[in-house]
RNA sequence: CGGGGUGUAGCGCAGUCCGGUUAGCGCACUGGUUUUGGGAACCAGGUGUCGGAGGUUCGAAUCCUCUCACCCCGACCA
């Protein structure tokens, strides 16, 4: 048997996927656990990814007419109580502020004091507090539509946390809009879902499936919830973004009313939509390999690392001069309409170590520049979408001339790889036995990576959804828009069905 | 929140069952020498309130009680 090739990340995806994920987060220096239960520290490299996500999305929202605003972190308990389903959905995971000060406890410590008359809830989502403002802001049909977004942190007291995927506190954006008609609100809900899908596919290079959530998976208080679902490399689904049509539920509980053209008062129609730092989890699990993080160039904090390779101080000086020539030529180039970000790793680690460091952090392009390259006016290029040792020499000015195409190609390759993976692991299944087999690992003790997306018929009943969940831990991810309605029989009960849905295990 | 597991140096771990020199190993780190185009070698060195709090004991990383955190599997969820 061939000797196992050394990988930068151990264990590999196949050996232990969950542990591999944690290693990527650690080794790529994205985030770490803090001393606060369930809360993470996002490190500079990870935060830079989030900043890029913010930049791009913010621009996309604004071009749809959405404006940013900011609402309080604290929500009075009474606001929460107004929407019954909403309370049910979030009550079990709320952090509650009940006191306003700390006092000397006489033993060198502190005790809490100043009990509040009404407890405040640290926002798990802001529908109710934003609704309170909206009810004041909206008076006339002329005030509509009202399109607001907030970049914020929210707290959900999760019992089981995982860095980026589910943390007690996370960063996100939440869009909240108000409309005069049902149709307009529904159109907005879908429009924002389209924005998310475009963002995921074009920037994160993560192919997603848009669709509607089943009733059981709906946002508490929503009339309809739409999601984008992505496949991770362990073949599980990750919900990467949601957009909710809230009907008049929240308008009624928050008294968001407007006067129509006839002077009559009507309840407005609202939507909300959000994506979170979970997207970074999606990014990691969709693309990274056994050597570390793989970043799509369009979202990477930097595009190129240049590693000088010098034997003597004098060589080093000359090589750095040569590198300066390359970087200043690159300054005139644009990728995705933006400046190309270059890191020159002049630290005194060995070239091998530096090389691997940047592989692990997912840098799209590595340029190794030594005396040989300098003399031949070349650079030695490694790409993160290729194998670590699959590197080639090219003239430095050719590199500068084609850098944009190279980055585009890396972006496209990463996307294509993820799309191919999803296709390979998406099956149309009409036979129940096959369906159960698809979702059952061969080894029960240490389940191997198995399953995927099953496109199967579903009659629409909660009972069938529940049964499959209980038997296989498989849920309906969404009812995809892209699948046309089609006659068939429910994979569970055999009754008539008009539509296939995506079944999958999920995060 | 239920079941299981783990906390010993920055990271990975041994030592714990059966208490007993100064708590150890590998990697990383610091200094030096030789190296240098693919995760360098050798020499020297620093690093720990053994997760925390109590208790038992002449003596606790080791035994007991409580507690906290993390990981895995559930339930819940973005």
Q: What are the pLDDT digits (tens) for A201-249?
A: 999 999 999 999 999 899 989 999 999 999 999 999 999 999 999 999 9
Distance of CA A122 to the CA centre of its chain: 22
User: To the nearest whole percent, how much of chain A has pLDDT over 70?
Assistant: 99
- Res. A311 pLDDT band, cuts 50 70 90: confident
> Rounded distance, CA A280 to CA A274, Å?
14
Q: Beta carbon of A378 within 7 Å of strand B?
A: no
User: By the 8 A CB rule, do A242 and A128 touch?
Assistant: no
Q: Beta carbon of A160 within 7 Å of strand B?
A: yes
The one-character DSSP state at A92 is G
The one-character DSSP state at A506 is B
User: By the 8 A CB rule, do A228 and A197 touch?
Assistant: yes
In A 420-439, which Cβ lie closer than 7 Å to strand B? none
User: By the 8 A CB rule, do A195 and A66 touch?
Assistant: no
In A 259-278, which Cβ lie closer than 7 Å to strand B? 274, 276-278
Q: What is the pLDDT of residue A367?
A: 96
In A 295-354, which Cβ lie closer than 7 Å to strand B? 309, 311, 349-353
Give DSSP secondary structure letters for A189-240. Answer: HHHHHHHHHHIIIIIS----EEEEPPGGGS-TT-SEEEEEEEE-TTS-EEEE
Q: What is the average per-residue pLDDT within A293-322?
A: 92
Least confident residue range of A7-21, A324-338, A447-461: A7-21
Q: What is the pLDDT of residue A314?
A: 85
ipTM comes to: 0.87
Q: Beta carbon of A471 within 7 Å of strand B?
A: no
Least confident residue range of A177-191, A306-320, A461-475: A306-320
Q: What is the pLDDT of residue A3?
A: 39
Please tell me which residue, A404 or A80, carries the higher pLDDT value: A404
Mean pLDDT of chain A: 93
Q: Which nucleotide is nearest to A376 (CA to C1')?
A: B37
Torsion of CA A90, A93, A99, A101, to 10 degrees: -130
Among residues A229, A4, A307, A262, the alpha carbon closest in space to that of A141 is found at: A262
Give strand ranges (E) for A135-168: 146-155
CA of A395 to C1' of B56 (A): 75
Is a pLDDT exceeding 60 seen at residue A305?
A: yes
**Nearest 5 degrees, angle CA A104-CA A110-CA A114?**
75
Contact positions of strand B to protein Cβ (< 7 A) = 1-2, 29, 36-40, 68-78
CA of A11 to C1' of B16 (A): 27
Most confident of A119-133, A369-383, A408-422: A408-422
> Rounded distance, CA A401 to CA A73, Å?
49
> Rounded distance, CA A496 to CA A338, Å?
52
- Res. A5 pLDDT band, cuts 50 70 90: low
Q: Which nucleotide is nearest to A125 (CA to C1')?
A: B78
In A 79-118, which Cβ lie closer than 7 Å to strand B? 89, 92-93
Least confident residue range of A140-154, A189-203, A249-263, A313-327: A313-327
Q: What is the average per-residue pLDDT within A82-88?
A: 81
User: By the 8 A CB rule, do A488 and A460 touch?
Assistant: no
Beta pairing class for A453-457 and A426-428: parallel
Q: Beta carbon of A232 within 7 Å of strand B?
A: no
Q: Which nucleotide is nearest to A319 (CA to C1')?
A: B37
Is a pLDDT exceeding 90 seen at residue A2?
A: no
Q: Find the helix packing angle between A313-330 and A396-424, rounded to 10°.
A: 70
Q: Beta carbon of A173 within 7 Å of strand B?
A: no
CA of A407 to C1' of B36 (A): 30
- Res. A472 pLDDT band, cuts 50 70 90: very high
The backbone region for A152, taken as left when phi is positive above 0, alpha when psi lies in -120 to 50, beta otherwise, is: beta
> Rounded distance, CA A191 to CA A380, Å?
44
Is a pLDDT exceeding 50 seen at residue A469?
A: yes
Residue A506, CA distances (Å) to A77, A134, A235, A362 in order: 32, 35, 9, 25
Q: What are the pLDDT digits (tens) for A327-366?
A: 999 999 999 999 999 999 988 788 888 999 999 999 999 9
Residue A368, CA distances (Å) to A295, A312, A393 in order: 19, 16, 9
> Rounded distance, CA A316 to CA A21, Å?
37
Q: Which nucleotide is nearest to A16 (CA to C1')?
A: B72
Give DSSP secondary structure letters for A265-330. Answer: EEE-EEEEEEEETHHHHHHHHHH-BTTB----TTT-S-SEEEEEE-SSHHHHHHHHHHHHHHHHHH
**Which distant-in-sequence residues (6+ apart) come within 8 Å of A104 by Cβ?**
A110, A111
Q: What is the pLDDT of residue A233?
A: 95
Q: What are the pLDDT digits (tens) for A120-177?
A: 999 999 999 999 999 999 999 999 999 999 999 999 998 889 999 999 999 999 999 9
Least confident residue range of A21-30, A102-111, A432-441: A102-111
């Amino acid at each position: 048997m061939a000797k196992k090739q050394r990988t930068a990340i151990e264990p590999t995806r196949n050996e232990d996927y969950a542990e591999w994920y944690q290693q990527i987060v650690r080794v790529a220096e994205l985030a770490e656990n803090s001393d606060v239960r369930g809360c993470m520290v996002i490190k500079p490299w990870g935060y830079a990814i989030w900043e890029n996500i913010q930049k791009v999305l913010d621009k996309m929202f604004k071009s749809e007419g959405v404006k940013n605003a900011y609402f309080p972190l604290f929500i009075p308990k009474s606001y929460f109580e107004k929407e019954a389903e909403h309370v049910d959905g979030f009550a079990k995971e709320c952090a509650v502020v009940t006191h306003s000060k700390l006092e000397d406890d006489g033993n060198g410590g502190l005790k809490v004091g100043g009990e509040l008359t009404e407890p405040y809830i640290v926002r798990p989502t802001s529908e109710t507090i934003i609704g309170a403002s909206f009810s004041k802001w909206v008076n006339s049909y002329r005030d509509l539509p009202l399109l607001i977004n907030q970049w914020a942190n929210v707290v959900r007291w999760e019992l089981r946390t995982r860095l980026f995927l589910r943390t007690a506190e996370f960063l996100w954006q939440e869009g909240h809009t108000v409309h005069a008609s049902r149709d307009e609100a529904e159109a907005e809900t879908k429009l924002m879902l389209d924005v998310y899908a475009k963002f995921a596919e074009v920037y994160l290079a993560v192919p997603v499936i848009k669709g509607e959530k089943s009733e059981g998976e709906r946002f508490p208080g929503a009339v309809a919830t739409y999601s984008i679902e992505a496949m991770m490399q362990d073949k599980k689904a990750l919900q990467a973004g949601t957009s909710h049509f809230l009907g008049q539920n929240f308008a009624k509980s928050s008294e968001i009313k407007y006067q129509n053209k006839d002077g009559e008062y009507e309840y407005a129609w609202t939507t909300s939509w959000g994506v979170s730092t979970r997207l970074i989890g999606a990014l990691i699990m969709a693309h990274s390999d056994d050597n570390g993080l793989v970043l799509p160039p369009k979202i990477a904090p930097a595009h190129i690392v240049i590693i000088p390779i010098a034997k003597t101080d004098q060589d080093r000086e000359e090589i750095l001069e040569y590198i300066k020539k390359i970087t200043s030529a690159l300054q005139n180039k644009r990728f995705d309409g933006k400046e190309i970000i270059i890191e020159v790793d002049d630290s005194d680690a060995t070239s091998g170590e530096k090389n691997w460091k940047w592989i692990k952090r997912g840098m799209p392009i590595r340029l190794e520049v030594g005396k040989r390259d300098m003399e031949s006016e070349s650079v030695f290029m490694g790409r993160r979408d290729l194998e670590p040792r699959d590197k080639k020499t090219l003239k430095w000015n050719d590199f500068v001339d084609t850098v944009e195409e190279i980055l585009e190609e890396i972006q496209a390759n990463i996307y294509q790889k993820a799309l191919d993976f999803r296709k390979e692991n998406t099956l149309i299944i009409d036979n129940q036995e096959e369906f159960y087999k698809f979702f059952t690992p061969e080894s029960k003790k240490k389940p191997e990576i198995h399953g995927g997306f099953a496109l199967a018929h579903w009659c629409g009943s909660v009972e069938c959804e529940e049964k499959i969940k209980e038997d296989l831990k498989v849920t309906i991810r969404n009812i995809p828009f892209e699948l046309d309605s089609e006659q068939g029989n429910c994979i569970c009960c055999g009754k008539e069905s008009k539509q296939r849905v995506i079944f999958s295990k999920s995060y």
